[in-house]
């Protein structure tokens, strides 16, 4: 075959492949946009229909589909549905995917005071060693073990946080730590700081 013809055919094939990749990416982006919009509107019927479309399974990886289902159940505040959605992550996952999933599960089960499941995902997180491992340790000690060993660390963090609004979550967590330590007076003192700030913020931003 004439080398010029071979080069021309190669270029055509490359352009064709790039075009197909572009079209696939565009279809995927359009589909993700529709799914996100349906979820934002809590239009679960449309959301489910889109997810069940064979095209969705073809364009969107199984992990992402499972995460979208999980987000739906969290929005619906369906505890049984959330538990089931977490159990559906049976596909192979890379380290970043595992970390994102385990964090979502850990903080969710901490918030619902399900200590058994929070402990399970805490152990899984320790295996993947996330960069914010200490933050996870603080939450685990405070809300699962009902401990207070990070009081000094959080007080140091408080001193290093100049903005008042950024100090509020630290005050709130410290209040829980002091309560765990049996110092109810200090816990209430910190909770009042948070409450007063919240009331002031609402009053200053109240629309007529």
Does position 132 have pLDDT exceeding 60, yes or no? Answer: yes
Question: Is the confidence at residue 92, as pLDDT, over 60?
Answer: yes
In whole angstroms, give the CA distance from residue 73 to residue 67: 10
pTM of the model: 0.80
All structural domains of the chain with their residue ranges: 148-203
Q: How far apart are CA 9 and CA 13, in angstroms?
A: 6
Average pLDDT over all residues of the chain: 84
Give the pLDDT band of residue 23 (cuts 50, 70, 90).
very low
Distance CA 80, CA 75 (A): 13
Does the structure show a pLDDT above 90 at 27? no
Residue 199 has what pLDDT? 87
pLDDT at position 13 over 50: no
Question: Tell me: the pLDDT tens digits for 93-108?
Answer: 999 999 999 999 999 9
Q: Please state, in angstroms and rounded to a whole number, the distance separating the CA atoms of residues 44 and 17.
A: 35
Give percent of the chain with pLDDT exceeding 70. Answer: 85
d(CA 106, CA 126) in angstroms, rounded, equals 11
38 vs 45: CA distance, rounded Å = 9
In angstroms, what CA-CA distances link 125 with 58, 85, 100?
30, 18, 9
């Amino acid at each position: 075959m004439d080398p010029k013809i071979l080069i021309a055919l190669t270029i055509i094939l490359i352009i064709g492949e790039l075009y197909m990749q572009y079209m696939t990416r565009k279809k995927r982006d359009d589909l993700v946009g529709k799914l996100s919009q349906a979820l934002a509107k809590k239009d679960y019927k449309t959301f489910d229909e889109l997810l069940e479309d064979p095209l969705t399974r073809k364009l969107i990886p199984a992990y992402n589909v499972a995460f979208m289902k999980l987000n739906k159940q969290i929005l619906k505040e369906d505890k049984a549905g959330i538990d089931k959605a977490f159990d559906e992550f049976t596909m192979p996952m890379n380290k970043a995917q595992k970390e994102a999933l385990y964090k979502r599960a850990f903080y969710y089960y901490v918030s619902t005071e399900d200590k058994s499941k929070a402990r399970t995902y805490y152990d899984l997180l320790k295996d993947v060693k996330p960069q914010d491992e200490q933050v996870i340790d603080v939450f685990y000690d405070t809300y699962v073990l009902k401990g207070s060993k990070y009081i000094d660390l959080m007080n140091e963090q408080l001193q290093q946080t100049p903005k008042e609004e950024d100090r509020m979550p630290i005050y709130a967590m410290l209040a829980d730590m002091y309560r765990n330590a049996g110092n109810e007076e200090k816990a209430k003192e910190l909770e009042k700081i948070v409450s007063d700030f919240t009331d002031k913020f609402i009053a200053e931003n109240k629309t007529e």
